[in-house]
Amino acid sequence: MTDFLLVTDLDQTLIGDDRALITLNEILEENRQQKEIKLVYSTGRSLELYGQLNQEKHLLSPDALITSVGTEIYFHPIKDNFDLQWANNVSENWDQEAVFSVASHFADLVLQPLSEQTPFKVSYYLSEKIAQEVIPRLKADLAREKLETQVIYSASYALDILPKKGGKGSALQYLRKQWKIAANKTVVCGDSGNDITLFKGEERGIIVGNAKSELLQWYDQHKTPFRYLAKQHCARGILEGLNYFGFITT
Ligand SMILES: [Mg+2]
């Protein structure tokens, strides 16, 4: 039986402080000798950009990888285990061409590199200064075309349009169901807007101390005893939260 499931975002959550990452990895490895800990990375990155990060940093190998803001799932070993069932679920009623066409009318949306345009996600850069004005208009236009999407703004620059059924939170719930792991044995960690859906259930939540304003604002409006705002940054914040919830002792 799994003792706990750890689901963490990568950039500026697990990654961001190399020494803290090494410490956390060592503690997880140690704890893994007595406990069954399942590890999932949940990232906005595509599989390609995850691969680059994996070469640059020392990452433990995860049991599953959620990429492209929860629109794709890969099981261990990552290279050959794309989850088709999740892809089928996410792709229902998704019309990427139509989404591109609506978004192309917004001059303020700057297309991200091709590597980040994955089958179930369309990604742009959008300046924070105009985001509050542009996003409602974009949502209204998508709705007018009857496109079932969600618009996610993160870290004051990234705007993703995803199928309604995608997202980090839905992907996490899907994995939890597959592995039959209870919410109170699951801990989720994040730092920015695209992590908000991870925190919407009753899983134990760790918001790292360096979290972006959009997540801090959401946290302030949704306080519960099972969400913890760490004082420390990145992997050190994750460690602080794991101790707080009693998942590990150091
Ligand atoms: Mg992040």
Q: Which of 112, 134, 163 is the last residue of a domain?
A: 163
Instruction: Confirm if 65 and 78 have CB atoms less than 8 A apart.
Output: yes
Residues within 5 A (CB) of ion ligand 1: 9, 11-13, 191-192
Quote the number of domains for the chain.
2
Is 47 inside a domain boundary? yes
Q: How confident is the model at residue 156 (pLDDT cuts 50, 70, 90)?
A: confident
For residues 28 and 118, membership in a common domain is answered with no
- Is a pLDDT exceeding 90 seen at residue 79? no
Is 250 inside a domain boundary? no
CB contact set of 80 (below 8 Å; sequence gap of 6+): none
The structure tokens 């099972």 sit at: 226
Q: Which of 41, 192, 46 is nearest to 117 (CA)?
A: 46
Q: How many residues does the chain have?
A: 250
Give the containing element (helix H, strand E) for 146: none
CA of 69 to the centre of ligand 1 (A): 10
CA of 145 to the centre of ligand 1 (A): 31
Is 249 inside a domain boundary? no
For residues 143 and 230, membership in a common domain is answered with no
CA of 214 to the centre of ligand 1 (A): 12
What value does the mean pLDDT take over residues 214-229?
96
CA of 150 to the centre of ligand 1 (A): 18
Containing domain of residue 196, as a range? 4-89+166-244
CA of 185 to the centre of ligand 1 (A): 22
Q: Strands 72-75 and 64-67: what pairing?
A: antiparallel
Is 84 inside a domain boundary? yes
Q: What percent of the chain has pLDDT over 90?
A: 93
Is 134 inside a domain boundary? yes
For residues 11 and 82, membership in a common domain is answered with yes
CB contact set of 78 (below 8 Å; sequence gap of 6+): 47, 61, 62, 65
For residues 112 and 230, membership in a common domain is answered with no
Helical pair 84-91 and 168-179, crossing angle rounded to 10 deg: 140
Is 26 inside a domain boundary? yes
**Per-residue pLDDT tens digits for 138-153:** 999 999 999 999 999 9
